[in-house]
Amino acid sequence: MVPHHQAALEMARIAQRRAEHAEPTQMAAAVLRGQPGEIA
């Protein structure tokens, strides 16, 4: 499951850089806040 969560973090980072609207950026931020706890 760790690779799955690591991939989610990478996709969220990409979304934050590329998103043109607030909603995807906010969703990506939520993923980045929540996923590290899932990996540990």
pLDDT, tens only, 1-40: 788 889 999 999 999 999 999 999 999 999 999 877 777 6
Q: What pTM value is reported for the model? A: 0.78
Domain that includes residue 7, residue range: 2-39
Distance (Å, whole) CA 1 – CA 28: 19
CA distance 23 to 39: 24
Separation CA 39–CA 20 (nearest Å): 28
Residue 10: phi and psi, rounded to 5, are: -65, -45
User: How many domains is the chain partitioned into structurally?
Assistant: 1
**Dist. CA 36–CA 30, nearest whole Å:** 11
Q: Would you state the pLDDT for residue 40?
A: 67
Which amino acid, one-letter code, is at 10?
E
